[in-house]
Amino acid sequence: MTEDLSFRCPHCQHPYQDELELLNADEAHVFRCENCSKTFSVVIKECSACAADTPIVQMELSPAVPFAQSHCSGCGEAFS
């Protein structure tokens, strides 16, 4: 696990942190950016190889998050 999870709004790059790790893994979380007011979604993936949490950010909530194109931020392992 990471100490705190950080990601950015994909529209304006405003930073966010989930310091207490309140976001559940494998669940889409919709945010409205406090800076630009646009919405985006974040899915937290836990790596099966090293257990690191990686935020996958999308501009729009879509039913199929492209995990196959994403990699663990801790060890670089591809998500399936």
Please answer whether residues 28 and 67 qualify as being in contact, where contact means their C-beta atoms are separated by less than 8 angstroms.
Answer: no
Query: What is the predicted pLDDT for the residue at 1?
Result: 40
Residue 43 lies in domain: 5-69
Q: Classify residue 78: in a domain, yes or no.
A: no
Query: What is the predicted pLDDT for the residue at 62?
Result: 63
Q: Classify residue 53: in a domain, yes or no.
A: yes
Among 75, 78, 19, 7, which residue's Cα sits nearest to residue 43?
7
Please answer whether residues 10 and 59 qualify as being in contact, where contact means their C-beta atoms are separated by less than 8 angstroms.
Answer: yes
When divided into structural domains, the chain yields a total of 1
Least confident of 30-34, 40-44, 62-66: 62-66
User: Exposed/middle/buried for 70, CB within 10 Å: 0-12, 13-18, 19+?
Assistant: middle
Coil, helix or strand at residue 68: helix
Q: Classify residue 74: in a domain, yes or no.
A: no
